[in-house]
Structure 1
Amino acid sequence: MTLLPLDTPVAPSPPPTPTPTPTAVSSRRLLTPANGRRALSLLPLLFLVLWAALDLSAVRDGFTRLTTADPWWLLTGLLFTYLGAVAAACVRQGAVPDRLPPGLLVASQIAAGAANHVLPASIGAHAVTVRFLRRQGIPLPRATASIALYSLVRAVAKPPVVLVFLLLAPASIPPARLLPDGRTLLPAVAGILLIPAGAAALSLVRPLRRPALEYVRTALTDVRHLHTRPSRFLPLWLGATAAPLIQASVVASVGKALDLPLTWPQLLFAFLAASTAAGAVPAPGGIGPIDAALVITLAGYGTPLSLATATVIGYRTLTVWLPLLPGTLLLSAMVQRKLL
């Protein structure tokens, strides 16, 4: 045994490692990525509960009025509701050069439909779609450019459809009554003015200038490339043309279920005109402005006000309430499986 001199410094022993308390261990276990995804997957269900609590009377009245309707016509309307997700998937596929898995794409649009009823101006649906495209390996500039192309094509394809029905359908409403009033035009004018203002602001802010130019360059390149491929521009434009007709067919199915004194073309045109007149108001899922405009349009055709109101409630039941629970469950499942 060797004895050290008295003046030899002794190295201090390392401090003992603190033993984690049970609270700290449980906190770390809770804050894992897997638990974060589980919590995120429950958010749509929370939105569903809050939405039902805020609009419980409308749900109750809608189901009460539909108890006397023809169930087969209501089932047809529900089928048209899900066909709308297929049409949206066609437009989404046509807006990107990359090939997307068809089944997952349709599923993402059903989930996006549920998110669309939470945030206004289709923000929820676009956010879900961008997340899905990113999970499919599509770069963010191309994904956001596809959202812009999707919105533009949907907006461009609808007015010709409305014009055809205005010329061919037996309309008993003066066209002037279908035009939006001053309160509806104000948000539309504000939105039109904000687009160039936003573009000017992006050009002035140096950190945002380069991403904005890259976004515009990517969008223009993809548009030129997509329109050289029939497998892309055909579903893009055909899906955008069919989408408003499918939505209008839901209203027509509810009208037939309630035995409205209107023909199928009149019911289609009533929804197309109402949605065009009220589409400038950025409400979640279009709920509110379109409903009021549709009631006025149906009443202008001579429909009793009670039946017109029941038709709108039935339309919202088929397009919002019945698909909302499957859509939120599908949204949660896709988040849990890292597809969103």
Structure 2
Amino acid sequence: MTSERLAVTPTRRHAYWQLALTFAVLAAVGALARRHWPVLETGAVRLAVADQGWLLVAATAAAATWACSALAQQGAVLRPLPPGRLVAAQFAATAANQLLPAGLGTGAVNLRFLMRCGISAGRSATALAVKATAGGLSRAALIAVLATAWPGVLRLPRPGAGWPALVGAAAVLAVLLTAARRPRCRTALALVLADIKAIHARPHRAAALWGGSLGFAVLHALVLIAVTRAVALPLALPLVALIYFAASSAAALLPTPGGLGSLDAALALALTAGGASGAAAASAVLGYRLLTVWLPLIPGLLVLAVLVRRKAL
């Protein structure tokens, strides 16, 4: 009886911390919403009378992102994974990601899932690194393609305005080079490179990794594009796609749960800079967040609980 109580206590304590973090996030969101309430109210009204057909397209694209995420995760490992549980884990990971910063929720769920599938902790962590790398490179490639195919879409900054970005990139590069000099980091990097070679030795695994990663990014951009069309936002499709890829890449550098606040601000600022009014940008961001975060949140947490109960996580 005593051992059972000792086993339950850490779990309850972890649940209390998660609940406290959730309330803290909600409080922060509430403070931001109160500060910008007039713009948000106008945007919500505009979203309420939006084109239902385009919203349906956006909802369909949002649902398909979990299948692409599962495909990319399967491509990052050599061992076959159970398809149904894999998709369910991606859906649950999306909900968990809203509670922990910097993608820790998604990483924790996927790491636990891969270990439950019989993959060692080291290989599971390497698979997550491979998937994250493929996702980042996919967004960079899509930005390059859009900027090349539609040169007018990419607005170059004023002279001197790009210095903060260059300094930030140099700082990140310096950190990576410093970390690469450490023995443990070199060992981890060697494992990642070895797994990448093994994956690309099997064309079907490489196709799943890159196809799922590209599909995931494209579908999220399609969600934002469909929402902008639903609220009659007069922006070119390539511009909206480029706005999403650039904003999501920038928001990934800020450790907020699910990009809460960082991605919203980046999208709103980019849409406004692209020519949208403040209310129109707010309605587009609200619609995107509603379909990709808030509506799937409760079902995702329920799926997470079911997977934990069935010991799939």
Q: Could you state the TM-score of these two structures normalised by the residue count of structure 2? A: 0.83
Task: Return the alpha-carbon distance in structure 2 between the equivalents of residues 293 and 264 of structure 1.
Answer: 18
Task: Return the alpha-carbon distance in structure 1 between the equivalents of residues 16 and 92 of structure 2.
Answer: 13
Match of 2:228 in 1: 255
Distance 1:120 1:186, change over 3 A: farther
Which structure has the highest helix share of the two?
A: 2
Match of 1:66 in 2: 47
CA contact (8 A) 1:184 1:278 kept: no
Q: 1:152 aligns with which of 133, 142, 147?
A: 133
Task: Return the alpha-carbon distance in structure 2 between the equivalents of residues 326 and 182 of structure 1.
Answer: 43
Aligned residue-pair number: 305
Moved more, 119-128 or 245-254: 119-128
Distance 1:173 1:151, change over 3 A: closer
CA contact (8 A) 2:57 2:226 kept: yes
CA contact (8 A) 2:44 2:283 kept: no
Match of 1:55 in 2: 29
Q: 1:114 aligns with which of 95, 106, 120?
A: 95
Distance 1:304 1:180, change over 3 A: same
Task: Return the alpha-carbon distance in structure 2 between the equivalents of residues 147 and 180 of structure 1.
Answer: 35
> Alpha-carbon deviation of 1:128?
1.0
Runs of at least 5 residues in structure 2 that lack an aligned partner in the other structure: 35-39
Task: Return the alpha-carbon distance in structure 1 between the equivalents of residues 269 and 30 of structure 2.
Answer: 24
Q: Could you state the TM-score of these two structures normalised by the residue count of structure 1? A: 0.77
CA contact (8 A) 1:80 1:247 kept: yes
Match of 2:113 in 1: 132
Match of 2:264 in 1: 291
Q: 1:266 aligns with which of 205, 226, 239?
A: 239
State, as a whole percentage, how many aligned pairs show the same letter. Answer: 35
- Across the aligned residues of Structure 1 and Structure 2, the Cα RMSD in angstroms comes to 3.1
Task: Return the alpha-carbon distance in structure 1 between the equivalents of residues 266 and 4 of structure 2.
Answer: 52
Match of 1:104 in 2: 85
1:142-196 CA deviation, whole Å, 9 max, x = no partner? Answer: 111111111111122222211221232474552327x985666665544433333
Runs of at least 5 residues in structure 1 that lack an aligned partner in the other structure: 1-24, 204-208
In the alignment, residue 55 of structure 1 is paired with which amino acid? V
Task: Return the alpha-carbon distance in structure 2 between the equivalents of residues 336 and 277 of structure 1.
Answer: 36
Task: Return the alpha-carbon distance in structure 2 between the equivalents of residues 239 and 103 of structure 1.
Answer: 16
Structure number with bigger Rg: 1
Match of 1:83 in 2: 64
Match of 2:200 in 1: 227
CA contact (8 A) 1:91 1:239 kept: yes
Moved more, 238-247 or 42-51: 42-51
Task: Return the alpha-carbon distance in structure 2 between the equivalents of residues 220 and 274 of structure 1.
Answer: 28
In the alignment, residue 141 of structure 1 is paired with which amino acid? G
Task: Return the alpha-carbon distance in structure 1 between the equivalents of residues 213 and 277 of structure 2.
Answer: 32
Match of 2:292 in 1: 319
1:243-280 CA deviation, whole Å, 9 max, x = no partner? Answer: 22111111111101101112333322222233344443
Task: Return the alpha-carbon distance in structure 2 between the equivalents of residues 279 and 194 of structure 1.
Answer: 17
Distance 1:284 1:96, change over 3 A: same
